[in-house]
Amino acid sequence: MTTYDAQVAVIGLGANGAQALYQLAKRGISVIGIEQHWSPNERSGHAGEHRVLHPLPFSPEGSPDHEILKDIMPAWKQFQQETNSNLVIESGVMLFGHKDDDEFQVIAQNARNRDGDDRNVLDAKTMRERYPLFRTDDSGMGVFDELGGAVRSELAVYTAVHGAKKLGAEVHTDTKVHGWAIESDRVRVFTRDREFTVEKLVISPGAYIAEMLPHLPIRARHLVMAWFTPEPEYMDAYSDPKQLPAFHGFIPHRRGEMIYGAGSLDKPYVKIGADFNWRLTDEIHQTDFHVVPEDLDGIRMMARERFVGLDDAPLRSVKLMDGWTVDYEALVGHYGPSGRVVLSTGFSGYGFTVAPVMGGIVADLIEKEETSYNIAHLDPNRFTEPNDSLAEWWQVTGGWNRSWSKL
């Protein structure tokens, strides 16, 4: 008879892994969390003070993500209440783009459908009147997501892990997983110091999935953010969340490039993140986290071009990694034929927005083998057809003398 260390092991305790750990523990499922760094830490995709929460969908009406996004703010508020924490910043989110952008018009229509009117769809003139800190040219427009805001990202990860431990979860940080084996009655997880035996496995390592499952079409991508100082006469304005809500902006004629951020918790500074330099990496090295001046060129340009009264010299900056799939959709669901592995990774920039809902979905898949949400579009097996043998070995980096990959 197999002796288990726990029912479930969760590899990776970042935005989504920490929520999966918490949701499993909340349901009374014995669970072990394993994190190669600390949780939270300054190198994972959750670092950098806060993340924007935008429940307004970017996809057309009827897309499956609408159901998930509808529930994210209630889920964050429920988590906040359960853990007696102060995580959610209810500032709303200013989405800005251009009126000739068909994709941005989809966002505007989603706002009209949800709000019942067009009160939050703003033309250039109205944008300049209501939100003068954002530079808006004549072709610009904005959509204010009044239900959105931001979440204190590092604190949210800490709160989920700490809350799970209070509910009985076992947590191992500074513990790198070198490999795992799936057998007919168990999953064996190997670390530097010991082996864990569990019934099921959740894999949620963020950008590091590119190292753990390198055959999947997920790449680790550089993520850079910087904090800027308002000019003296603008400091009061930038400290007011009504004048500076959280923001997410699309850059015209440069597909896939955007800026995002919010007022710093350390007022009156402004944090700006940007997707300009889509540098990808197959192996994550120490030097990947060193910010060089070239990393900040695009963000500094945005501080000048898109904001009024903001000095473009960064006060501080950070470089992280997150994981992006080739189709920009996450991988969430059962992986492989054994039924013992659930993936929750590759969120391509929106992992924090959906984290508490995804934590619940993962707990559903572990506990009940299914979820009420439509996650067919997130099926991890859409990219690969796993071997159907009972014993499956995934090749991962880290030092086992002989690793096998049958996928």
Where are the strands (E) in 282-328, listed by range? Answer: 316-325
Which pLDDT value is given to residue 145? Answer: 98
Give the CA-trace dihedral at 107, 299, 302, 327, to 10 degrees.
Answer: -20
Of 165, 167, 192, which is closest to residue 179 (Cα–Cα)?
192
Instruction: State yes or no: pLDDT of 257 exceeds 80.
Output: no
- Per the confidence metrics, is the pTM higher than 0.75? yes
Of 137, 95, 113, 138, which is closest to residue 305 (Cα–Cα)?
137
Give the model confidence (pLDDT) of 319-365 as tens digits.
Answer: 998 898 988 899 999 998 899 999 999 998 889 999 999 999 999 99
Which pLDDT value is given to residue 285? Answer: 84
Separation of CA 226 from chain center: 18
Let me know whether 135 and 233 are in one domain: yes
Let me know whether 238 and 131 are in one domain: yes
Which pLDDT value is given to residue 386? Answer: 45
Show the domain range for 288: 73-149+219-325
Let me know whether 208 and 316 are in one domain: no
What confidence category does residue 243 fall into, taking pLDDT thresholds of 50, 70 and 90?
Answer: very high
Of residues 117 and 302, more confidence is placed in 117
Let me know whether 118 and 207 are in one domain: no
Q: Give the integer Cα–Cα distance in Å for 395 and 381.
A: 17
200 strand-pairing partners:
8
Instruction: State yes or no: pLDDT of 90 exceeds 50.
Output: yes
Answer for the pair 231, 310: CB distance below 8 angstroms, yes or no: yes
Establish if 63 belongs to a structural domain.
no
- Mark which of 304, 325, 346 sits at the end of a domain: 325
Q: What is the mean pLDDT of residues 4-32?
A: 98
Instruction: State yes or no: pLDDT of 401 exceeds 80.
Output: no
What confidence category does residue 277 fall into, taking pLDDT thresholds of 50, 70 and 90?
Answer: low
Let me know whether 363 and 256 are in one domain: no
Give the model confidence (pLDDT) of 309-325 as tens digits.
Answer: 999 999 999 999 889 89
Q: What is each CA distance from 25 to 91, 106, 111, 195, 402, in whole angstroms?
A: 31, 39, 36, 21, 34
Contacts of 64 (CB under 8 A, 6+ apart): 373, 374, 375, 376, 377
- Mark which of 325, 347, 377 sits at the end of a domain: 325
Q: Give the integer Cα–Cα distance in Å for 357 and 371.
A: 11
- Mark which of 280, 297, 325 sits at the end of a domain: 325
Answer for the pair 39, 173: CB distance below 8 angstroms, yes or no: yes
Let me know whether 255 and 173 are in one domain: no
Which pLDDT value is given to residue 276? Answer: 66
